[in-house]
Structure 1
Amino acid sequence: MSISSDPNPVESSHSFAVVAPLKAILFDIDGILCGSDPLHYYAFREMLSEVGFNGRIPIDDEFFIQNISGRHNEELCGTLLPDWDIQRARKFFEDKEDMFRRLASKQLEPVKGLQKLCKWIDEHGLRRAAVTNAPRPNGELIISILDLSNFFEILVIGNECEWAKPFPDPYLTALKALEISHKHAFVFEDSVSGVKAGVAAGMPVVGLGTRNPEKLLLDAGASFVIKDFDDPKVWTSLEDLLETKA
């Protein structure tokens, strides 16, 4: 399986049933494993105001969703702080991530139904990977806080690939490491860029509507959208896949 910067490297399908037999499930981290986006939003709002962004008028939730959510910091350097020297911009985002980690260490909670889903995955011997555009310290911290360090076989960081999400490279990297075809895996994502990355890697994507509007996720290519991991749509789909395998 080659890793490509082409956003559409393989023929993709929105049909959830095409992954049967199911062999692996790939997870984004922020907004999927935990409700971390409100903490990112708070950190961005406070720190952007401090540096005079938008005339010190705090960003709102809509701005965060449309311009920040799901994007990696290197990209945001150019879109949020285009007039800054790159080193200064990178330092801003390092400080923002430090603030996020301080908040996360005290306030992070798993998405409803996550533990039940992880147990089901274990019981059925499925492979799994975490794939994120977040910096590695963030990903490792969240996975540790949620006690999932032994659950995930691999953690793929977007900026450690040739191209981050919305390009498919991070998901293709995970599939290659797991030695699983895109034909036997699907993705849980909550951002537009993440959904596009999963679809471009040839996999169906289940959108989690914890933060971003359902329509945005569906328009990006999500097969369907759930509210959390207790949503009956998840379990109906998983059981259907097991029946197909049988």
Structure 2
Amino acid sequence: MWFILMELTRPSFSPSSNCSLAFVAPLEAILFDIDGTLCDSDPIHYDAFREMLQEKFLCGLEKRMTIVMQVGFRGGVPIDEEFFVENIAGKHNEELCRVLLPDWDFERAMKFMNDKEAMFRRLASDKLGPIKGLGKLNQWVEDRGLKRGAVTNAPRSNAELLISMLGLTDFFKTVVIANECDQAKPFPDPYLKALYELEVSPKHTFVFEDSVSGIKAGVSAGMPVVGLSTRNPEKVLVEAGATFVVKDYDDPKLWTALQELVKKAEVVEVTP
């Protein structure tokens, strides 16, 4: 029902080419992706996939028999960063089953993905910190009493681990997991669900995202998206629909846009 209601009320939104967020004033909420947006976790995902796609797996043939089977992905050639960015980053695990392991049955492919996520959590446990300037931005958000949510294609166990590691458990009022929605990013469902749970309008909310699929999802949900060039080139993010792109949360471009938004909100407030 929430999806139908949001679809009926969602505004038509076209990304702007200038670095402005003033058109969402007065601001009600900000939504954040997690991987690559709150922290630069992609290198750890890359390492986990690179290792897992070369590992050996035990596949049961009968109750008392097993054989060792080489995955043999890409003929045994390890993936490189270019392959990771083009084929893996930003996608959810069910989609990756089809992209990476199309000849495997779904249950076996998902077992591989779950094992990979477990490896990611082990590797991430002591290696991750926040994107530069995140603490400053979060304080700005709290000082203004804005609502905030995290929206991710990652499994809940990963999302909760990263949010906890970054000290943001109490910061987010909702955490929306894409595989708990009808469709994951790049479809708008996860962002529409976040809007519904926070009881805010897409006309007064914007999104931070670092991936093509995430930007497309936010734009499809009727919101402007600020892209973070954590791992993807600015050109790629703008082509996906980002309103503008920043390097991190200390980027002067972002703070100029936020100051403009605040001034516009003050004007709206005093206008009879």
TM bin, normalised by shorter chain, reads over 0.9
> Where does the alignment leave 5 or more consecutive residues of structure 2 unmatched?
56-70, 267-272
Of 154, 161, 164, 1:141 maps to 161
- Secondary structure at 1:49's aligned position in 2? coil
Structure 1 runs of 4+ aligned residues shifted over 2 Å read none
SS in 1 for 2:258: helix
Q: How far 1:17 sits from its partner (Å)?
A: 2.4
Distance between the aligned counterparts of 1:201 and 1:10, measured in 2? 8
**Structure 2 counterpart of 1:28:** 33
1:10–1:200 contact (8 Å) kept in structure 2: no
Aligned twin of 1:78: 98
- The CA deviation string for residues 67-103 of structure 1, in whole angstroms up to 9 with x for no partner, is 1111000111111100001111000000000000001
| Letter of the structure 2 residue corresponding to residue 140 of structure 1 | E
Residue aligning to 1:110: 130
Q: State yes or no: 1:3 paired with 2:23.
A: no
Instruction: Provide the C-alpha distance between the structure 2 equivalents of 1:49 and 1:227, rounded to a whole number of angstroms.
Output: 33
- Cα distance in structure 2, aligned partners of 1:27 and 1:13: 20
TM alignment of 1:139-178, pairs within 5 A: 139-178=159-198
**Identity value in percent:** 66
* Equivalent in the alignment of 1:183: 203
Q: Tell me, yes or no, if structure 1 residue 132 matches structure 2 residue 175.
A: no
Structure 2 counterpart of 1:3, which letter? F
Using structure 2 for the length normalisation, give the TM-score. 0.87
Please point out which of 23, 33, 46 is paired with 2:51. Answer: 46
SS of 2:158's equivalent?
A: helix
- Within the candidate set 89, 114, 126, 1:69 is matched to 89
2:15 aligned residue: 14
Query: Please, which of 227, 235, 239 is the counterpart of residue 215 of structure 1?
Result: 235
Pairwise CA RMSD: 1.4
Preserved contact between residue 182 and residue 203 of structure 1 (Cα < 8 Å):
yes
* TM, length-normalised to structure 1: 0.96
Assess if the C-alpha contact under 8 Å between 2:229 and 2:245 holds in 1.
yes
Q: 1:94 aligns with which of 109, 114, 117?
A: 114
How many residues are aligned here? 244
Return the letter of the residue paired with 1:13: S
Post-superposition Cα deviations, 1:6-47, rounded to whole Å, max 9, x if no partner, equal 8xx641132432211111000000001001000001111111
Report if the CA contact (8 A) 2:11-2:203 is conserved: no
Which runs of 5 or more residues in structure 1 are unaligned?
Answer: none
Q: Secondary structure at the match of 1:106?
A: coil
Q: Secondary structure at the match of 2:91?
A: coil
Letter of the structure 1 residue corresponding to residue 188 of structure 2: P
Distance in 2 (alpha carbons) for counterparts of 1:120 and 1:183? 20
SS of structure 2 residue aligned to 1:3: helix
Pairwise CA distance, 1:49: 2.0
Give the distance between the partners of 1:184 and 1:14, measured in 2 at CA: 15
Q: 192, 195, 201: which one pairs with 2:212? A: 192
